[in-house]
Structures are given as C-alpha cells and as structure tokens.
Structure 1
Amino acid sequence: MKFSNYLVGVLNFATIVLSLPVIGGGIWLASKHDTDCVRFLQWPIIIIGTVLLVVSAAGFVGACVGISCLLWIYLFVMFLLISLLLCFTVFVFVVTHAGAGHGLAGKGFKEYTLGDYSTWLQNKVDNAENWNRIKSCLSDAQVCKALNAEYPTTDAFSNSQLSSLESGCCKPPSACGYTFENATLWVNPTNVTADPDCLLWSNDNLCFDCDSCRAGLLQNIKQDWHKVAILNVVILIFLIAVYSIGCCAFRNARREGAFSFRGKAYA
C-alpha cells in the first residue's frame, strides 16, 4: 500500500476520534436537568456526531483496502457534514448570544428577564404545550429542593449564588416585596404591580409559571450551549484541516494508481 493510502487512512481515523467529542457534547447536554427538559438543541449535534463517526469509519475502511468509491462517498458526505456542523454552530451562537442576568443591590444572585433572550428561544418556552412539559420535567428534577437546607435565613439567602433556574423558578421577583419565611415560602407582597410574575407566585407551585422561570431556563441553556459551541469550533478547525489534507492525499493517490475499484487499479 502506498504512502497516500496510509495518510488517508490515518486522517479518517483522526475524524473518527474527532466525532467522539461531538457525540459526547450532545450526551453531556442531555444529562443536565435544564437541557434534558428541552430536547430541541442537543439531538441535532448527537445525530451529526454519529453520522460523522459512521462516515469516517467508511473512509477508513476505504483507505485500508484501497476502494475508491468509499473514499469518494466519504469526501462528499464529510463536506456536507462540515457544512452542516458549521451552520449549526453559527445558529447556536446567534440564538444564544442575547440575554444576561441583572444584578441586584445587596444580593448575591441575579434575576432574569424573558424579553432579553432571542425571539426563537422565547417562542420555544412561550408555547403552552412545550412549557407544560418543561415545567413538569423541572418539577420532577426538584431543582428547588435543597434551597431550604442551604439557605435557612434571610441573610444567607440574600448572599447566595443561586443558579439562573433557582433564581427564576424557586422564588418571586425581588421587586414584588415578598417577605422571606424560608427559601421557598414567601408571604405578604408589598408591590404586586411591580412585575406580572408577582401574581403568578404560589407557595405551592413556586414560580414555575413565571416568565422569570422561562428566562432562567434559557440562561442555563445559553451557558451550556456556549460551552458546546466553543468545542464545536475547535473540532471544526481540525475537521477542515483533516478534510483538506485528505482531499490532497486522495488526489495524489489517484495519480499514483494507489486505489482500486472492483479489483482494478484506479488512476
């Protein structure tokens, strides 16, 4: 087997390895409470990673046994996958770039406003059917369960570093003026007109019907997806480099007659 065969085989093996972090990123997202409840983002990347793995394996076999048709398929599909992964990564950056927490005087945590986030994400959580499913999932995950034990006093709660989900879903907005009884029990609001969520707070259902809960969920999604998108950028750089070298190696292999088609030399 000539040098070009070995080179293309090694490059295909490299893309097999690179597909694993793509799949792993999707699995990591699916394992988290916030993104486990919102399945419209992690599955595309798991699918892309899986197809990349299968195609790379086909290219590796094609390089090892010198079957040019497999390598043609590999190069074509790899181009499509790189383009798809690039578009998907850009899309993730675009829909998650907006939105951030608002600091509060004397508080260790931030609060979140739904209108700060992209329209596409807002539409996903504004849909009643979607939100009922997400709300049920978050409730089952008991995202507020540990707060009472962790922050038993007003001062402890005020200085807490709540996650965006805890801040948005487990307490009423600070502007409402509720009195702290414990981390999930608030009474006697002094300004229920300060925020529409003030009237949605319930000591039984907490703030799972509030826009602040939707915003807290989107903030968590934004943070998680930025991590995965950065990983995707690194993987894309390597994939593009591997694909470019693979194209050159395959072209050289054709000139050398290194690959065969149906048992005949291919040049």
Structure 2
Amino acid sequence: MHTENNNVSHTSISIEDLSFLQLSDSFFPTGLYTTSNGLEHLFYNKNRKLSYGEILDFINAYLVQQIGPTDCCVIGNVYDCLQKKDFASLLDLDNTYYFMRLVDETRSASTRSGIQFLRCVSTFVRENENLTFYSKSIKDGLAKGVFPVSYAIGCNSMNLTKERSGLMLLYGFVVSVIGAALRLGILQHFEGQMMINELKPVMLSTVLKNIKQPADEMWQFIPQLDIIQMHHEQMDSKMFIT
C-alpha cells in the first residue's frame, strides 16, 4: 500500500497565509504602481544616471525617517483602537496622518490609494463592523481614508497581525519605488531583486521598532525628500502621480 509522505502539517499553513500573499502581491489594485515618491524628479533633474547606491539610500531614508515612524506607528495604533473599539481615536489617527503629509500631491495619493484599497477589500470581506464604520466615516467627511489606516483596517479584517501588516506595507512601498526605477530605465530587473533582498533587514527592523510605538511618538524628518516631492508636484509632464 502506498502511503503519501506529507512533511507539512495542516496546522502550519492557514487562510491567513494566503491573505498575506494576496495583499502583498503587486497584482492587488492599490495604485502604488503609479507612484515614484519623487524618484522621477531626481531622474529628470540629474545630469547623470542615478547609481544603485543612490536609489538604495533614497528608499532607506524613506523607510527609516518616514514610513517607519509614521505609517508603521499608525498601523500599530489602528489595531489597538480596533481592539478597544475606540473609534474616536481611530478618526484622530486618520486626520493626524493626513496633515502630517506636507505635500498636497502625497496627501491626495495617500487618500486615493487608501480608499481604493478599502473598496477592494470590502468586495470580498462582508459585514465587517470596522470596514463599515471607516467607509461610512469617509463618506460622511469624518475621515480622509489615508492609506495606512485603510490598510490596517483591511488587514485586520482578514485576521492578519499588526506586524505582518506593517511588513506588507513597507514591502509594497519598496516594490513601488523599485518598479518606478525599472520603468524609468534606471535599474535592471536583477538589480531590483538584489535591492529588495538588501533592504530586507531594514524593512524588518523598521517594523519591529515602530509598530508598537504610541501615537504621540509618531514623527517624520526627511526635509530634502519633501522638497523633491514639491518639485515633482510642479513638473509639467510626468509619468507618476508622486
């Protein structure tokens, strides 16, 4: 009699693992592929080709100085608000994050991507109290629909941990910038994969450092990159939204 040798326990994988793959896949329609986060401006205003190291430093600065201490911090606090049913603090987080984005273009991109993400998740996650509340708050003008809040609520509705949610958001950001670099002809595909691999320790440490920080310790400080974003906003012709 043939006995199948199955070394993988059924309890070692779950629906949540598939949800993790689904939301982290670039196929999921968040609109991040339309953003370069100012890389396009640098590309057109440098009198030489951007180097691999410069792009790596560009992404690293965003992760450590902005995405980590703001977006990851927001995600962790959204999860805490949902656990406590503290919807007032949830709306405060939404508005605080919105006004921390200094460039109008980035604020608009965050709300567009956030609302798009929320709509997509709502098509297959039905009758979820948190999704319903936040969607209604956006319609009523009480919330902006910023991306990290929408993302956290969507991930929570699919039973993903706050740590995994933060990791997916950072990974999605990295892939969006590297994808922009590929389309601009700055990087080749193999170089893009090398860069993702090189940034893995930074993504992991950034999430672990910021995901449990209280909301009143949220911060960002990347003035040079903010200026780049402002210049990108004023470009007459551009391929990317930001």
TM-score normalised per structure 1: 0.32
Decide which structure has the larger Cα Rg and report it.
1
Larger RCO of the pair (alpha carbons < 8 Å, separation 6+) = 2
